[in-house]
Amino acid sequence: MKAYLTVDDIATERTAILTDYLTDRQIKALMFVWGQRADAFADNCVYAIKKGMVLGNHSYSHPAFTSLTMEKAREEILKNDRLIESFYKKAGIKRPFKAFRFPYGDCGSALEDSLDDFLKNQGFTPLKDSAMALKKRHSVLWDFDFREYKVRPVSGISFSEIYKKAENFLTEWKADKEKFRDFIPVILIHDHTETEDMEKNYFEKLINLFLDNGVEFIPPCGLSSCPSASE
């Protein structure tokens, strides 16, 4: 049961803690950078790179791309990419590949094809052998979202509900070995201090659940660049 692990909305004050947790378990994740947040925690982004995580682009201000003009959409992507490049330069490590994830999975509606062409021309790549790669698209979506960000004081959604849904997903996956026969699934979790305030160590608990059920998180690979597990 192989999967890619992706972490959205870095960076926060906990990003280094999450990085250490993943490193201890020999997991390399694709961490998507929300530029406005990362500006305040640049050192944690550099730390993640040095520990073997791959940083992806999640736009600078995390807008819904359907609400943007093409010009504004390009600006969101390029501004954040310059920031990510600065992190790699500071870390002294070559960026292995460029990945982009649309905030909220909103691919731009009427602009979707134009944005995909733009991503392609900018050198962005889907994850190797993922569903998006099969579709020949150039962004990174997901196949399972923990949706733990919904655990909030007034949401009425508890962490136990999130945990149970993850258990159900794993049960279905183990029962149907053909579920992801044609591609490697992409798993999504978030780096949110707001969720940590609601449930201590939520991140570790959910990832441990997957590990305990036999999921192997493989290193993130672009179409033409696959960092090895030993790098």
Longest CA pairwise span in the chain (Å): 46
Q: What is the mean pLDDT of the chain?
A: 95
CA distances from 28 to 46, 53, 200 (A): 15, 5, 22
Neighbours of 167 (CB within 10 A): 12
Task: Dump strand ranges (E) for the chain.
Answer: 2-10, 30-33, 54-57, 144-145, 186-190, 216-217
Q: What is the pLDDT along the chain (231 residues), one digit of tens a residue?
A: 999 999 999 999 999 999 999 999 999 999 999 999 999 999 999 999 999 999 999 999 999 999 999 999 999 999 999 999 999 999 999 999 999 999 999 999 999 999 999 999 999 999 999 999 999 999 999 999 999 999 999 999 999 999 999 999 999 999 998 899 999 999 999 999 999 999 999 999 999 999 999 999 999 999 876 654 334
Q: Which among 78, 79, 75, 85 is positioned nearest to 45, based on CA atoms?
A: 85
pLDDT for the residue numbered 225: 66
pLDDT for the residue numbered 224: 75
pLDDT for the residue numbered 223: 85
pLDDT for the residue numbered 228: 44
